[in-house]
Amino acid sequence: MELFTPDFGLVFWMFVAFGILFLVLWKFAWPVILKSVDERAELIDKGVEYAQQAKEQLDNARNEAQQYIAEARRQQADILREADKMKLQIIDEARSAAQTEAQKVMDNAKLQIEQQQKEAQQQFRNQVSDFALQVAGKIIGNELQNDKAQEKLVDSILDNMEDNK
């Protein structure tokens, strides 16, 4: 049947035409087209990968930045606390220094006062013993020798009096 009988002429021309088409496209078209299709696929793959990496990096960077900020805040707080502490300390130190200084001055003053008191007492004692000897001499009539022994006696009397007080 003619429908199922391949026609010689058509087979011949088909071979020729298809052969030429194949050779031409094989040489001039397919390498370029297929290469571009491949390369574009690769480019897209790489692009996606790159975008993912970039996103990752961005996320990382954000995290890092947040970490840095938190760190800075902490340091700031630390520094502030430190400063506060230092301030109090300085004030304390100053206060204690002032106190000691004041104490010293007061002690000195007390010491001086005591000294002066003692000196005054001594002076007063000397005068009293003097007076007492003179008074006793006048009373006895005889001028008592203002010697050491008498003075000692008066002194001891005065001591006794002081002790009895």
Partner 1 sequence: MRLLNRLTANILRSLLPVALVLVGTVAAHATAFDMDTVEKVPDNADSTVVAGINSAVAALDDSTPAVENVTPEEHAETAAEEEKSAINPKKIIFEHLLDGYGWEVPFDHHHRIPLPVIAYASDGLHCFSSAHLNHGAVYQDGDVTFTVGGDESKYPGKLVELVNGEEIRPWDFSITKNVCAVFICVLVVGGLMLWLASFKRRNGFKAPRKGLGAIEAVVAFVYDGVIKPILGPQAKRFAPYLMTVFFFILVMNLLGLIVIFPGGANLTGNIAVTLVLSICTFLATNVFAGKHYWKEIFWPDVPLWLKVPLPIMPVIEIFGMFTKPAALTIRLFANMMGGHMIVITLTLLIFIFSAISPVAGGGATVVSLLFSIFMLLIDTLVSFIQAYVFTMLSTIFIGLAQEGEEHKELEEDHGHVGKAIEDTLI
| Shortest reach from residue 38's CB to partner 1, in Å | 8
Answer for the pair 124, 155: CB distance below 8 angstroms, yes or no: no
SS3 (DSSP) at 162: helix
What is the per-residue binding string for partner 1 in 118-157, x denoting contact by CB under 8 A? ----------------------------------------
Q: Does 24 bind partner 1 (CB under 8 A)?
A: yes
The answer to the question of residue 39 lying near partner 1 (CB under 8 A) is: yes
Residue type, 59: D
Among the candidate windows 10-18, 57-65, 66-74, 121-129, which touches partner 1 by CB under 8 A? Answer: 10-18
8 A C-beta contact, residue 162 and residue 129 = no
**Residue among 126, 123, 150, 152 at smallest CA distance from 137:** 150
**Per CB under 8 A, does 50 bind partner 1?**
no
Which span (40-48, 82-90, 100-108, 142-150) binds partner 1, by CB under 8 A? 40-48
Contact 46, 54 (CB under 8 A): no
Report if residue 3 touches partner 1, rule: CB under 8 A. yes
Residue 68 binds partner 1, judged by CB under 8 A: no
Question: Is residue 86 part of the contact set for partner 1 (CB under 8 A)?
Answer: no
Q: Count of CB atoms within 10 A of residue 129's CB?
A: 19
From the CB of 48, what's the least distance to partner 1, in Å?
Answer: 15
Contacts of 157 (CB under 8 A, 6+ apart): 132
